[in-house]
Chains A and B, each alone.
Chain A
């Protein structure tokens, strides 16, 4: 720094100020993003007596809320249900999605554009618009009040999304690779399973994660197609937690449940954030 020249000094001061302002923004942003989760976390560790002394800092480390939560047999059962449904939904979506992505992404045929529009259209469906019709289908199939009703109904949003994102990914694989397989005598099925499938694993992890999160979080269908406590998924279970009266909600237990449901997702996000971001933006940015 040149001490004698004041303009430099002023500029340097301005730079420092800008820099400081930037960091304030970054911290505010981070704080805004994670505070609700943080607050739920510290609330969940408060004994019910301390819960009503408001404080932004952790004041206790008490596990009684968690003990109460897991003492209810239906809650652990709900977590199991959610995991089961989400895993099955992901497997189904990946299986159907990969096959469809090959067809849509690698083969030129009449009607391809039409299918793409239908897939995109279904992803825009308001769930409520199919609720009554789907209810009838589910009753007819005899899967009302079972996890299968959710596996089936969740396909309405996981399938279009999976197909769309995987089609984007499969298009990026080089043409000559497929032609080499053709020269080697591979049928489309062999090309798909022995050449493309291994190369699509990263894309399938990404898409699978997003489908998992979507299925884990779904509420409307889970609320409608499942009746009994034993069959409920976690989001519905949490929405249903209530105390003796509306004014006596067990906030501590509720926050503990929220934390339990969110922690797996937070861990997934931390580990796979790069993949999640690429999956979220794959279908959209390229049009």
Chain B
């Protein structure tokens, strides 16, 4: 059993709280991905779990054991570094064998285990080479081999694919998914790339400014974001937000209205006591129809992506906000829209998200957590 449990974990650097009390549980065999903007503390959190940084407060349990004060080698964790950090003067064999030798295993056992590892990662042919004679992808595999050779229950990866080119990154992503299934170990993976997060994770943990915004399955995060931060962070292009006002609110739903958004009734239970809400709709859930209404949006720009187009909209009052937060809509490539066209926006009710004044999602009546 190698589950990881964090209880109110905090990390302080020179009087600043970098990790502000994180509670998190990662089950045995689960693939957890930590995402968030740079500086959110995701790498620090990983290093706390690895034992490379000391935990200022709170408790970290691995496999049911409190490990706050255990050195990395006693925690049963392996780690893959962003820069790979292969020992430049050692061959591939020695790189993978180093940890095993230090663990005091005899020569034959080390050799056997290194060979097994090499087979899993298809490194057999490269055992005598030095890191500088390897390609980026091969170095990546050696780095993974070094981390898994000791058969750690938990594998930590700190942006392992960020030094690879786009094509190789996709291949290694598939490779890592295959390894996870093969080894069955618990994985904790840090990335800023949400495609990696969505494709690899059983559980995504969205971090922001040292605390967890939401943790859940990719589907949960995408379909039921807990707040505007997660809603805006997951999905590309990001979710559109509109300021709306509540006209009526009762048990059945909430009636809202905003600039360019005609009055509509949405099935949310309560308004949380405020009359000003934020409506969120993903670009792919917006339909555009030509309109001559003075309350309609204007097409300000169109980006052609081949299979589809991104349509950027200007709000009805014509103010072009300088932060470039234009609503954007994904439409099929065959769409006949042109810049300057007036359009009305429509969306289906089940794809609408409502957030209160603090950015927290409003609960939907009758909808509990999605199965995953």
Q: Which residues of A contact B (CB under 8 A)?
A: 174, 176-177, 179-186, 190, 194-195, 198-199
Between-chain CB contacts (< 8 Å), 17 pairs? A177-B87, A179-B52, A179-B81, A180-B85, A180-B87, A180-B146, A182-B72, A182-B73, A183-B50, A183-B77, A183-B78, A184-B99, A185-B73, A185-B102, A186-B98, A198-B89, A199-B88
- Answer whether residue B221 sits at the interface, using C-beta atoms and an 8 A cutoff: no
Q: In the bound complex, what is the Cα–Cα distance between A183 and B76 (angstroms)? A: 9
Verify B50–A184 contact, CB threshold 8 A.
no
- Pick from A174, A183, A190, A199: contact of B83, CB below 8 A: A174
**Measured between C-beta atoms, what is the minimum distance from B95 to chain A in Å?**
9
Nearest 6 pairs between A and B by C-beta?
A185-B73, A184-B99, A176-B85, A180-B85, A198-B89, A176-B81
Closest to B86 in A: A180
Chain B residues proximal to chain A, CB less than 8 Å? 50-52, 71-73, 77-79, 81-83, 85-89, 98-99, 102-103, 146-147
12 more A-B residue pairs beyond the given contacts A181-B87, A183-B99, A185-B99, with a C-beta to C-beta distance below 8 A? A176-B82, A177-B85, A180-B79, A180-B81, A182-B52, A182-B71, A182-B72, A184-B98, A185-B72, A185-B103, A194-B98, A199-B89
Closest to A176 in B: B85
User: Closest Cβ of chain B: how far from A108's Cβ, in Å?
Assistant: 12
Closest to A185 in B: B73
Contacts of A180 in B (CB 8 A): 79, 81, 85-87, 146
Residues of the B chain whose Cβ atoms lie less than 8 Å from the Cβ of A181:
87, 98
Q: Nearest-CB distance from B290 to chain A (Å)?
A: 56
Residues in B with CB closer than 8 Å to A184 are 73, 98-99, 102, 146
Q: How far is the CA of A190 from the CA of B73 in the complex (A)?
A: 14
Name the one of A179, A182, A183, A195 contacting B87, with C-beta atoms under 8 angstroms. Answer: A195
Partner among A174, A183, A195, A198 whose Cβ is within 8 Å of the Cβ of B79: A183
Q: A180-B87, A199-B89 are in contact. Are A186 and B102 (CB under 8 A)?
A: yes
Which residues on the A side are within 8 Å of B52 (C-beta)? 179, 182-183
Task: Quote the shortest CB–CB distance from A75 to chain B (angstroms).
Answer: 43
Nearest A residue to B88, CB-CB: A199
Chain B residues lying within 8 Å of A177, measured Cβ to Cβ, are 85, 87
* Residues of chain B within 8 A of A182, CB atoms compared: 51-52, 71-73
Nearest CB in chain B to that of A184: its residue: B99
A183 near B89: Cβ-Cβ < 8 Å: no
Q: Which residues of A contact B78 (CB under 8 A)?
A: 183
Q: Given the complex of chains A and B, what is the CA–CA distance between A129 and B102 in angstroms?
A: 48
Residues of B within 8 A of A190 (CB): 102
Residues of A within 8 A of B99 (CB): 183-185
Minimum CB–CB distance for A17 against chain B, Å:
48
Closest chain B CB from A177 CB (angstroms): 5
Residues of A contacting B72 in the complex (Cβ-Cβ under 8 angstroms): 182-183, 185
A194 to B79, CA, bound (A): 19
**Cα distance A265–B71 in the bound complex, in angstroms:** 49
* Complex contacts, B77 vs chain A, CB 8 Å: 183
Tell me the complex Cα distance, A185–B89, Å.
18
Chain A residues whose CB sits within 8 angstroms of the CB of B82 once the complex forms: 176
Which chain A residues border B71 with CB–CB below 8 Å?
182
Docked complex Cα distance between A184 and B82 (Å): 16
Closest beta carbon of chain B to A18's beta carbon, Å: 44
Docked CA distance A99–B244 (Å): 66
Instruction: Determine the residue in chain B with the shortest Cβ distance to A186.
Output: B102
Query: Is the pair B102, A176 in contact by a Cβ cutoff of 8 Å?
Result: no
CB distance from B146 to the nearest CB of A (A): 7
CA distance A182 to B86 in the complex (A): 13
The distance in angstroms between the C-alpha atoms of A199 and B85, with both chains bound, is 13
What residues on A are CB-neighbors of B147 within 8 Å? 183
Task: Report the Cα distance A185→B77, complex, angstroms.
Answer: 10
Q: Could you tell me the distance between the alpha carbons of A70 and B259 in the complex, rounded to whole angstroms?
A: 102
Chain B residues lying within 8 Å of A179, measured Cβ to Cβ, are: 52, 79, 81, 85
Nearest opposing residue in chain A for B158, CB measure: A176
A185-B102, A185-B103 known; A176-B83 Cβ under 8 A: yes
**In the complex the two chains form, what is the Cα distance from A194 to B82 in whole Å?**
22
Q: How far apart are B248's CB and chain A's nearest CB, in angstroms?
A: 58
Chain A residues whose C-beta falls within 8 Å of the C-beta of B88 in the assembled complex? 199
* Complex Cα–Cα for A28 and B234 (A): 69
- In the complex, which residue of chain B has the Cβ closest to the Cβ of A197? B89
A179 CA to B81 CA, complexed, in Å: 9
A194 CA to B97 CA in the complex, in Å?
13
CA distance A182 to B82 in the complex (A): 16
Distance of A180 Cα from B145 Cα, bound (Å): 13
A195: which B residues are within 8 A, CB to CB? Answer: 87
- Of all chain A residues, the one with the shortest Cβ separation from B97 is A184
Assembled-state Cα–Cα distance A199/B83 (Å): 17
**A183 partner residues in chain B, CB cutoff 8 A:** 50, 52, 72-73, 77-79, 99, 147
Q: In the complex, what distance in Å separates the CA atom of A51 from the CA atom of B101?
A: 68
Q: Which residues of B contact A176 (CB under 8 A)?
A: 81-83, 85
**In whole angstroms, how far apart are the Cα atoms of A176 and B50 in the complex?**
13
| Assembly CA distance A186 to B97 (angstroms) | 13
* Complexed CA–CA distance, A85 and B150 (Å): 47
